[in-house]
Structure 1
Amino acid sequence: MMKSLHITLITETYAPEINGVANTLSRLCDGLRTRGHRVEVIRPRQSEDELRAAGDDLMLCRGWPIPGYPGLQWGQSSMHKLLRRWRRNRPDVLYIATEGPLGLSALRAARRLRIAIVSGFHTNFQQYTRQYGLGFITRLLISYLRWFHNRSSATLVPSVSQKTELARRGFERLELLARGVDCQLFHPSRRSNDLRETWGMRPHDTVVLHVGRLAPEKNLGLLKTSFDSLTATYPDKRLKLVIVGDGPSRMELEQQLPEAVFCGAQRGEALAVHYASGDVFLFPSLTETFGNVVLEALASGLGVVAYDEAAAAQHIRHGHNGAVAMPGDEEGFIDAARWMLEDDETLRRVRLNARQHASRQGWAGVIDAFEDYLRTASEMQSGLALEV
């Protein structure tokens, strides 16, 4: 029987914050603990932590707000605290999930103490800079991210397209770590006609759904263009655009889409009910490292329309269990959405195939692979220490 590991996770975001990174890390940590590993989490203090004390498996640090991302924080640089903590109780391996000041201080402390490091590339910050008017720092940011990740024994990326892009930019030792989906939570059986009625929709009407953070980098202008085209193409269908999520672009979207229903951020079973109560899922983002919502929508039995990259490239076979367009081809994206609604039988078949595919994408295999990457890094570092 393999020995259990002492694993330290460093991240600027963690559940119950609502985003794909927090959700993924929570799943990975729970899975490792179920397998008998000790998992220590180091992260910024959240509002929910007001009465929570740190301990052997949790270190909370001060955080600073990230501009444009209320509720999320950069963690404070904590190198000396980490050195003291890890000299007293040394982990076998670190997993650094974010590259901010907290992640950087963990990287420096671990290298000084010769602790094994695995990093994860979870967010395309280098693409976000253009959306926020900071394109002039893109090259500098890419250089920093490459320097950061190339100092770990492996960098885990969620999609083949992401791995290819980073390799082209000089990132080394890239490994694929896919994502899973909870197919018991996200299930077509959660469909609620009562919820649909609050949206003004009857059982056989068509709800066009979007779930995600409402922010400039998500290319949400295409939601209006696509939905307008659908209503013009199919004037006899009763269509409603329903948007689940929150963020800095919400007010602007509400002005652009006065007929749409805005449901705000949802989580857990309420989120699953919102998914299952839709019919078609539009996902126009071009900045995802993966896009967990694509798998959640597939598991909920929706007809997904997305660009052919990240999660969609891995999980959608065009015309079989969804529809994809070439990245950046807006007319192709709109055509894919129109095809999805061309006839009822097409949509029914796509939705059945979507659920069938997603039902094979559980978390168990992902956590197995994650455990193997961490163990390999720990054993390599131990071997180097013995040689020294």
Structure 2
Amino acid sequence: MDRHVGPGGRPLRVALFSGNYNYVKDGANQALNRLVGRMLVRGDVIPRVYSPVSTTPAFPPTGDLVAVPSVAIPGRAEYRLGLGLFGAARADLEAFAPDVVHLSAPDLLGHRAKRWAREHRLPVVASVHTRFETYGDYYRLGWLRERAERLLQRFYRDLDEIYAPTEGMARVLVEGGFSERVRIWSRGVDHALFHPGRRDMAWRRSLGIDDSAFVIGFVGRLVLEKGLDVVAAAAQALTAMGISHRLLIVGDGPARERFVSEVPQALFTGFLTGEALARAYASFDLFLNPSITETFGNVTLEAMACAVPVVAADAVGSSSLVADGVSGRLVPPGDAAAFAVAIAAYAADPALRAAHGRAGLALAANHEWDRVNDAVIDRYPLLVAATSQKR
């Protein structure tokens, strides 16, 4: 594709700012890498990424990545905090001379990039990947939530556009006073990688799981904000109800040791990627996602693409994906007893699991990466044109 839309007929230049582009693997940075990859394929947009970096990145970055000054976050050393936009990173940005600035986190780097863009009278957009205002609830800092919401409102409110992954999250942003200029940037799934054919009973047996066992899967970083307490409490409730099950945990993180003590009978695989991750999803009998902090449930969508029914919290991250009573169940957030009851129904009814798995697979087919990424990329030239008219 050769649609040159920048000034003078050249490709449009987009500076993308990220708090974590590739040094830790999560749904947010995988979406950003996919977006940059689509820009490169199209050819009408030249991306350049500015982010903290690590000497041991989780995966190779897509496109050109420029390191910004950063420090490890105390207590969460796997994450880094960008200190701002100065020195070599700022000089590189000046030389790149972007037409659009795209922010992906309301951190110090994002604030400095926003200020730089305003000084240069450029359109500024942001994509919303995480509900940061909810994090304090998991670390006994709930009293900070109101202040965090005010700071986020101040960050997002005057941007040219912000992109939410679901209609539900868009409503949260509008009704919460974050912005009225909200558009949808959904997420896709790699259907060539995640599909039901990855199911592997031999792999389950290698973990000591009987073919007849009912396997509940969880995928994610082992951090408190993923709802690990709910996973543990639901598993304990199932045991008390006499529901035979195996809990299979895919992922790792700083809360692993604590989590292991809470679910001592669970199997832990550590981090998995690529075909190994897809095999794990497809080998579950049910996928459990109690998290309420994500703006989009990437893991939920990947499980659906593998024809696995989902029991998830009725929150913005999953409610726009899971059709309650059709492809899974949506449960009141934090209600471990309700999670256990929903899971028990699937444990008792293999036909229900199969039917809801097929329904989830059909729904996942609507999520294609190229289409959803084009929805964002096609906004850039319109914003550049609108900004030019205001000058």
**What TM-score do the two structures reach when normalised by structure 1?**
0.91
Tell me how far 1:86 sits from its aligned partner: 4.0
Match of 2:30 in 1: 23
Distance, in Å, in 1 between the alignment partners of 2:19 and 2:213 is 41
Match of 1:337 in 2: 343
Tell me how far 1:99 sits from its aligned partner: 1.4
After superposition, where does 1:283-298 map in structure 2 within 5 Å?
A: 283-298=289-304
Q: Does 1:275 align with 2:281?
A: yes
Tell me how far 1:234 sits from its aligned partner: 5.1
Distance, in Å, in 2 between the alignment partners of 1:342 and 1:202 is 16
Distance, in Å, in 2 between the alignment partners of 1:189 and 1:249 is 32
Tell me how far 1:328 sits from its aligned partner: 4.0
Match of 2:354 in 1: 348
Match of 1:176 in 2: 184
Match of 1:223 in 2: 231
Match of 1:189 in 2: 197
The one-letter code sitting in structure 1 at the alignment partner of 2:77 is P
Distance, in Å, in 2 between the alignment partners of 1:83 and 1:344 is 57
**Retained in 2: the 8 A contact 1:297–1:304?**
yes
Shift in alpha-carbon separation, 1:133–1:194, aligned structure 2, 3 A: same
The one-letter code sitting in structure 1 at the alignment partner of 2:234 is S
More divergent stretch after superposition (80-89 vs 156-165):
80-89
Tell me how far 1:366 sits from its aligned partner: 0.7
Distance, in Å, in 2 between the alignment partners of 1:299 and 1:138 is 34
The one-letter code sitting in structure 2 at the alignment partner of 1:255 is S
- Percent identity among equivalent residues? 32
Distance, in Å, in 1 between the alignment partners of 2:352 and 2:375 is 36
Match of 2:56 in 1: 48
Match of 1:137 in 2: 144
1:103-128 CA-partner distances (Å, limit 9, x unpaired): 11111111101111111121111110
Match of 1:373 in 2: 379
Q: Does 1:313 align with 2:319?
A: yes
1:116-167 CA-partner distances (Å, limit 9, x unpaired): 1111121111110222233333222222211111231011111222222222
Distance, in Å, in 2 between the alignment partners of 1:168 and 1:289 is 15
Distance, in Å, in 2 between the alignment partners of 1:16 and 1:308 is 30
Number of corresponding residues: 379
Unmatched 5+ stretches in structure 1: none
The one-letter code sitting in structure 1 at the alignment partner of 2:199 is R
**Retained in 2: the 8 A contact 1:280–1:304?**
yes
CA RMSD of aligned residues (A): 2.1
Q: Does 1:77 align with 2:84?
A: yes
Tell me how far 1:330 sits from its aligned partner: 3.5
- Aligned residue for 2:264, secondary structure, equals coil
**Retained in 1: the 8 A contact 2:289–2:312?**
yes
**Could you tell me which of 92, 97, 100 is aligned with 1:93?**
100
Match of 2:215 in 1: 207
**Retained in 2: the 8 A contact 1:16–1:22?**
no
Distance, in Å, in 2 between the alignment partners of 1:176 and 1:80 is 35
Match of 1:63 in 2: 70
**Retained in 1: the 8 A contact 2:218–2:287?**
yes
Distance, in Å, in 1 between the alignment partners of 2:93 and 2:240 is 62
Match of 1:147 in 2: 154
**Retained in 1: the 8 A contact 2:260–2:266?**
yes
Distance, in Å, in 1 between the alignment partners of 2:55 and 2:93 is 26
- Aligned residue for 2:371, secondary structure, equals helix
Tell me how far 1:21 sits from its aligned partner: 0.8
Distance, in Å, in 1 between the alignment partners of 2:313 and 2:95 is 48
**What TM-score do the two structures reach when normalised by structure 2?**
0.91
1:199-221 CA-partner distances (Å, limit 9, x unpaired): 21133322110001111112212
Match of 2:305 in 1: 299
Shift in alpha-carbon separation, 1:234–1:67, aligned structure 2, 3 A: same
Distance, in Å, in 1 between the alignment partners of 2:229 and 2:100 is 43
**Retained in 2: the 8 A contact 1:295–1:311?**
no
**Retained in 2: the 8 A contact 1:76–1:102?**
yes
Shift in alpha-carbon separation, 1:325–1:136, aligned structure 2, 3 A: closer
Distance, in Å, in 2 between the alignment partners of 1:278 and 1:18 is 22
Q: Does 1:257 align with 2:263?
A: yes
**Retained in 2: the 8 A contact 1:323–1:340?**
no
**Retained in 1: the 8 A contact 2:293–2:317?**
no
Tell me how far 1:331 sits from its aligned partner: 3.1
- Aligned residue for 1:47, secondary structure, equals coil
Shift in alpha-carbon separation, 1:232–1:134, aligned structure 2, 3 A: closer
Distance, in Å, in 2 between the alignment partners of 1:42 and 1:328 is 36
Distance, in Å, in 1 between the alignment partners of 2:236 and 2:333 is 21
Distance, in Å, in 1 between the alignment partners of 2:351 and 2:257 is 36
- Aligned residue for 1:315, secondary structure, equals coil
Match of 1:114 in 2: 121
